[in-house]
């Protein structure tokens, strides 16, 4: 798959802390486009996997309309990948797996925080974080029910490779009759 080759080439060159960061775009609850950065967990069965709170704004938006877009920009290789597709919630077993792979700080913040909701008591949130951190010791933390993820099955993928001449290479793959069809686009 072109995507995995391009991602590996970027990973081999990059020094950024989160090289799998991508922009997830959804149709907002207010019908305005909404975008935020998330971390790609893996590509599995030709689908892109992301995780996070299902009760966050992104989760609510995906549950309302599962048509989403992912955009990757890779600085070192000067490439962009745009993906449009449909998101489907991952299984609880898979959510457990991804949650267990997170570091403990990330697990605790996922337990105590209602991501994106208005906060009225920062000190209370910090106290709850500290309480869980101290009481859990070396024990594994359980994934909260509202934490999960999505697989994004692509319907379109555009690969854009920037050129100094401005004659960028743009290849658009679309699914037609369950087969990928390639069109080369003008720069």
The per-residue pLDDT for range 154-183, each reduced to its tens digit, is: 999 999 999 999 999 999 999 999 999 999
Structure-token pair, residue 176 = 């037609």
- Please state, rounded to an integer, the average pLDDT across all residues of the chain: 95
How many CB atoms are closer than 10 A to CB 126? 11
Pair 30, 183: CB distance under 8 Å: no
Q: What is the pLDDT of residues 141-156, one digit of tens each?
A: 999 999 999 999 999 9
DSSP string, 121-140: -HHHHHHHHHHHHHHHTTSP
Please give the domain boundaries of the chain with CATH numbers for all domains.
2-96+145-185 (2.30.110.10)
φ, ψ of residue 79 in degrees (nearest 5)? -130, 150
pLDDT at residue 17, as a whole number: 86
DSSP string, 34-70: EEEEEE--EEETTEEEEEEETTSHHHHHHHH--EEEE
pLDDT at residue 165, as a whole number: 94
pLDDT at residue 138, as a whole number: 85
Reported pTM: 0.91
Helix (H) or strand (E) holding 104, with range, is: helix 104-112
Return the SS3 of 169. Answer: strand
pLDDT at residue 116, as a whole number: 85
pLDDT at residue 115, as a whole number: 87
Structure-token pair, residue 42 = 């893996």
Spans of the chain, pLDDT less than 50: none
Give me the residues paired with residue 179 across strands.
Answer: 176
Residue reference for tokens 């024990």:
139
How many CB atoms are closer than 10 A to CB 114? 12
pLDDT at residue 19, as a whole number: 87
Pair 133, 108: CB distance under 8 Å: yes
How many CB atoms are closer than 10 A to CB 71? 16
Pair 155, 84: CB distance under 8 Å: yes
pLDDT at residue 35, as a whole number: 97
């Amino acid at each position: 798959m072109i995507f995995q080759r391009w991602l590996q080439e970027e990973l081999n060159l990059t020094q950024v802390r989160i090289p799998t960061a991508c922009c997830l775009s959804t149709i907002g609850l207010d019908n305005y486009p909404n975008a935020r950065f998330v971390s790609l967990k893996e590509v599995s069965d030709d689908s892109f996997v992301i995780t996070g709170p299902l009760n966050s704004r992104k989760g609510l938006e995906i549950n309302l309309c599962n048509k989403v877009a992912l955009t990757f920009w890779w600085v070192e290789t000067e490439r962009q990948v745009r993906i449009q597709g449909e998101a489907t919630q991952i299984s609880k077993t898979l959510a457990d797996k991804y949650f267990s792979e997170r570091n403990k700080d990330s697990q605790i913040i996922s337990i105590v925080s209602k991501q994106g909701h208005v906060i009225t008591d920062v000190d209370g949130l910090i106290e709850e974080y500290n309480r869980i951190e101290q009481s859990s010791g070396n024990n594994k933390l359980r994934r909260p029910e509202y934490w999960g993820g999505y697989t994004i099955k692509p319907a379109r993928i555009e690969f854009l490779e920037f050129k100094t001449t401005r004659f960028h290479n743009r290849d658009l793959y679309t699914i037609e009759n369950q087969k990928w069809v390639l069109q080369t686009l003008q720069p």
